[in-house]
A and B are shown apart, each in its own frame.
Chain A
Amino acid sequence: MKTDFQTVILNLQEFWAQKGCVILQPYDAEVGAGTFHPATTLKALGPKPWRAAYVQPSRRPADGRYGENPNRLYRHHQYQVLLKPSPDNVQDIYLESLKYIGLDPLLHDIRFVEDDWESPTLGASGLGWEVWGNGQEITQFTYFQQVGGFACDPVPAELTYGLERLVSVLQGIENVYDLDWNSPEGEAHMTYGDVAHQMEKEFSAFSFEHADAPMIFRHFEDAEAMCRHLVENKLVLPAYEYCLKASHLFNLLDARGVLSVTERANTIGRVRALARQCCELWMENSNG
């Protein structure tokens, strides 16, 4: 069975399409995790059923390592699934998806280990597990309890596969840059490093050395003001997009190490306030 990076993604798309998910594209703005995509954050709220799946490239400026660390990345990829309401057999469906991409639970040791999830910037939290494959965390499995400070009713199940880790387990590879991105047979073979190494190197240099902190802080304040303006004008999706921008700009400032502990907590609080207003507006318009 083929386990290169892109085949695993294609298989997951196929699998979740068969389970009734709408297959979406990544959100086209910088985000730190698949959860931030409006198809998860906003759609998790409200009474309407919703099933979606998509890849989300996720940027974590503080985790950049100039392409030198075998496991840590400025940008990794998450495969994100949201099922609302959570189906009764959601664990079984998830395990079926592992088999579908070639991870046989009779060969590997698959375990559900307690890990409650919380996003202080989104004011969101849930209960669940990290799923382990032979001691490696391969998925975050969460039953959302609240988002933006609002209780989720019905409760969605969120599955977030860490694609690099998952594929590492499947390929038995240690260094992420050695993973096969496409099929290793044939002339067009590309590794993860071929595709992504330059980005890791340059964006690490950007976020640790060249990001202009005062300029980014100005951008943060602009994004915040824009978000508020859009909330006032009841444009929930554009407003939320500017909340995401503020969140990413905060991540950049954080990676740059220019925020003191108090400023850091304060800035997180400002992003959370934006997220809350967006969610509130979403609920008012009962878009859920």
Chain B
Amino acid sequence: MAEWLFEIFSEEIPSRMQPEAQEQLKTLTEALLKEKELPFESIKTFITPRRLTVVVEGLPLQTLPIREEKKGPRVDASPSAIEGFLKTAGVGREDCEVKETPKGSFLFVVKNEPGRPTQEVLSQIAPSLLEKFRWPKSMRWGSLAVTWVRPIRGLLSILDGRVVPFSYAGLEASNKTRGHRFLAPEPFTVDNFQDYEKKLKDHFVILDWEERQELIQKEITRVAHNVHLTPLEDSALLDEVAGLVEWPIAYVGAVDKHFMNLPPKVITTPMRVHQRYFPLMDSKQKLAPFFGVISNSEGSDRGKTIVIGNERVLRARLADAQFFWEQDQKKPLEHFNTALKTRLFHQQLGSLFDKVERLVKLSSRIAKHVGANPKLVERAALLSKADLASQMVGEFPELQGIMGCYYAQNQGEAPEVARAIEEHYWPKVSGGEIPDALPSLILAIADRLDSLMGFFTIGITPSGSKDPYALRRAGLSLIALSLNPHFSLSMIEVLGWAYDTYPWSELTPSLLKTKEQAVSDVWQFLLERFKFALRNGQGSPYDHVDAVLGVAHENPTFSDLALRVQALDKLMDGEDGQNLLSAYKRASNILKIEEEKDKQLYEGHVKEEVLKVSEEKALFTNLSIKSPNIQDLVAKGNFVKAVQDLATLRPYVDQFFDKVVVNTEEGDLRINRLHLLAYLRKTLHQVADFSKLEG
């Protein structure tokens, strides 16, 4: 069994692309080996800023021989038939064998492909890997026509220590690679994977991404502990830094004390986003005047110059922030709204200030209906986008909302107002935190309603990969927000309000949908997003959502729908649900056939006195007790209990189908039993349209 080690050595690969690239190399190698009929035991891939590596273990030294037989026409077939066959197969008559079969003598073409040396096959696989690999963004360099994420500068390819020759991008594959850019720049020879990994470490490169990540975590924690602090948890930053260095060394730098009067996020944003530093916290979880930094080498003066340099850069950034902090607060937050008048929300939908004015109206209307204080909500809406015109947000866009909140607090706005300015951007990421406070929630919902209705009304909707206004995300956020039980309004109704808030007669979009059309389009779009959200969030299959939607009333709320789907998920997970479903299917099949035959619909008018067998009596008794209960529970929103009650019907249903024949000769009895089945169907439909469920 042989081992193939292949390294693509390049200039620095962007950190954000590394995890996916490592994954892709694995999938692609696997596919190509399979295509070439090369079996293997394992594939592992690795990535650092400068190399993408795959090692395949357990390869044979030769591929398996391939014997292919192709059957042709009979020996005595017409000359034209034989000629046609020979032409397609690309052989002459003399290359054919004649074989006796039970149906007579036939011509056969037999191809015997001997096994090929693995080395030869790999020589073809390696360049085709490079060709087929897809980066999110790739480039050309020098005078070459090939593309890669950054220029390729070396190719190492060895099978059991021997070079697998091929050339690509003007380079010849070899058994050499290089270590750390500065600490060990000279090329060295590699024998096998174990040797490779070890020699890399000797040459100041940690090959394994996860190992680097863990080391960074450990080292940052260690140096923070030296000054009695702990790093702020931030897995995204950790991931990014793991892709920026091959040999991580941690240092601690100091922040000038006078900057510590700035709000914590104003300090941590330039640290994290711009400089990739780790903020450090004291024992009370308060931001400390220190930061952790990962260097790609130790520095010949043990990091003294590196630390001083990084401190200097941060000082300049914080000096900027300090300046903006003071400048921005020289005027009331509300004054920034003037600048929003010349900033476009969308050319056909007006300026950002127009949007703010709509948000004031829309969120006020919502507030009145859900029992929130409309004055607070209106104020929050009026100030919600003001900070976009502040100098701080101009320099650090990540601070939108956060600065508005700080400035509002300092200027004596109500705490709910300040909070809503920050929190109306939530959830910041899919699955992120949802605001709890009612003014924040209302404003967050109004903001998404306004965007979705505006764009859909003028015909801008997401299609395929095109969604420049991030409407899919807005839709998902709107659903997540409206799952909050405090928001009890019908989505369709509030979509209408959002439509009405636009001064359509003053705007002159090239396309303007009617209110009915626009609301319906957004609603359908939201339902699709809703299915997607439930499947991703709680693993609900699409058919469960469809079943619930099938019986929902006209103006459902998403929280109501989500609860129903959840209850149905639980039911269908168990045996009771599956049995009820098959009973339902059986009942509706029978009903469908019989209703067609009888040209009449059965709707559940069971005559108790006609019931004969004990199993049908028992089913009827249970249905008559439970059906009204279930209806009642659904109306009160207690789906869990409703579904539990439904599940208790199962034994009676099972026994009914076991013992009772529906289509009897006795006409009255048959009709009554059909009504009983219809009663069962109706009862199940109170919770969900079972016909939409897949078995």
- Residues of A with Cβ closer than 8 Å to B? 69-71, 85-88, 91, 95, 104-114, 116, 126-129, 133-136, 143, 145, 153-155, 157, 168-169, 172, 174, 260-262
Contacts and interface: CB of A to CB of B under 8 A. Distances in A.
B12 A109 contact: no
Nearest to A260: B342
Counting from the closest, the 3 A-B pairs by CB-CB distance are A134-B309, A114-B14, A112-B12
B344 A262 contact: yes
A223 to B, nearest CB: 25
26 contacts: A70-B316, A86-B142, A87-B142, A88-B142, A88-B170, A105-B182, A106-B182, A108-B305, A108-B309, A110-B296, A114-B15, A128-B150, A134-B313, A135-B275, A135-B277, A135-B313, A135-B314, A143-B140, A153-B140, A154-B143, A155-B143, A168-B312, A172-B309, A174-B315, A174-B316, A260-B342
B275 A91 contact: no
Contacts of A174: 312, 315-316
How many interface residues does chain B have, given as a range? 35 or more
Contacts of A154: 142-143
A104 B310 CA distance: 16
Contacts of B143: 85, 153-155
B16 A261 contact: no
A169 to B, nearest CB: 6
> Among the interface residues A95, A108, A110, A114, which one has the most CB atoms of the partner chain B within 10 A?
A114
Contacts of A71: 316, 319-320
Given A108-B306, A155-B140, A70 B319 contact: yes
A154 B143 CA distance: 5
Nearest to B310: A135
Interface string B379-418: 0000000000000000000000000000000000000000
Contacts of B16: 114
Contacts of A129: 12
Nearest to B182: A105
A169 B310 CA distance: 10
Given A104-B300, A105-B182, A109-B310, 9 more contacts: A70-B316, A85-B141, A107-B301, A114-B16, A127-B139, A135-B275, A136-B312, A154-B142, A172-B309
Main secondary structure of the interface of B (DSSP, over half): loop
Nearest to B294: A109
B153 interface: yes
B433 interface: no
A126 B301 CA distance: 36
Contacts of B342: 260-261
Interface in B110-141: 137, 139-141
A127 B137 contact: yes
Contacts of A153: 140, 143
Given A109-B296, A114-B16, A262-B347, A143 B139 contact: yes
A92 to B, nearest CB: 8
B343 A109 contact: no
Interface in B173-213: 181-183
B295 interface: yes
A157 B150 CA distance: 12
Contacts of B183: 106
B545 interface: no
A60 B642 CA distance: 69
B519 interface: no
A91 B11 contact: yes
Contacts of A110: 182, 296
A256 to B, nearest CB: 13
B164 to A, nearest CB: 22
B244 interface: yes
A98 to B, nearest CB: 11
